Structure 1
Amino acid sequence: MTKTAKDLVAEANKTIETLSAEEAMRLVDDPSVVLVDVREGEELLRTGKVRGAVHVPRGFLEFQADPTSASHKPELGGKRLLLYCASGNRSALGAKALNEMGIRNVAHVAGGFAALKAAGAPVQEGD
């Protein structure tokens, strides 16, 4: 194996914008920002999600962010996207992929949902 998953996450973190949970908390109610939960549906059912977050499983992110895709989610267009997952790894990879697609108004949350919840993020029942 040439690169590990850990290597890929480390590379992503060098090229993307990363916000702390506290910084992200200041954006939760900002109408120009869309929080995007990239965890799997089962995770949301178990733990809930940040209030108002759009759920886009990591495996569908590129398709649902692409306005030319049949599965595009309009909520992902025209606003700053703030991605989070459980701990910050999948969201880092997702932010890097979106940047590679030319979507520049994207960042991710270090520490993911766990950090957001610890910082007092408003949580609602999952998807």
Structure 2
Amino acid sequence: MTLKQPLKKGFKQMLAEANAFIETISVHDALPLVGEKSVLFLDVREAFELEKGEIQGALHAARGFLEFFADPESTMHKPEMARADRIILYCATGGRSALAAKMLVDMGYDLERVFNLAGGFEAWKAANGPIEII
């Protein structure tokens, strides 16, 4: 099956817009934030990806459920998200987390609180950042 007309906005344009809008934080700048109570590392990868490990202390919130976890009116709400002064989202390499970060801001989270981890979990592992095996 093919589309009858081109998409109004493809994933490349959506990624470019998200990356231009959301602040990216480098692994180097994020490493010292592990364990800070006011900082939440939010893993938006799928459950099967967790077998590779997770940033130490991260909260898993698969991207497909993120709107439900983010909204205080949802029965699935994760209160850690509302309490954090900074939320650093990550996925495997940074694309899905950029889109997820923009979505959080679109929902009403403060732009100054939401960050995308540059290079995602792969960059974190390459920098020997602390991980937990789930």
Q: Does 1:113 align with 2:109?
A: no
User: Structure 2 counterpart of 1:96, which letter?
Assistant: K
Cα distance in 2 for residues equivalent to 1:118 and 1:31: 25
Gaps of 5+ in 2: 1-6
Gaps of 5+ in 1: none
Instruction: After TM superposition, list the pairs within 5 Å mapping 1:1-127 onto structure 2.
Output: 1-45=7-51, 47-79=52-84, 80-104=86-110, 105-126=113-134
Distance 1:121 1:59 in 2: 26
Give the whole-Å Cα distance in 2 for the aligned partners of 1:2 and 1:67: 31
Could you list the structure 1 runs, at least 4 aligned residues long, displaced by more than 2 angstroms after superposition: none
Greater CA radius of gyration, 1 or 2?
Answer: 2
| CA deviations over 1:46-104 (Å, ceiling 9, x no partner) | x0101110000011111101111111011111211110000000100011000011101
Q: Which amino acid aligns with 2:108?
A: G
Aligned-residue CA RMSD (Å): 1.0
TM-score, length basis structure 1: 0.94
Q: Which has the higher contact order (CA 8 A, sep 6+)?
A: 1
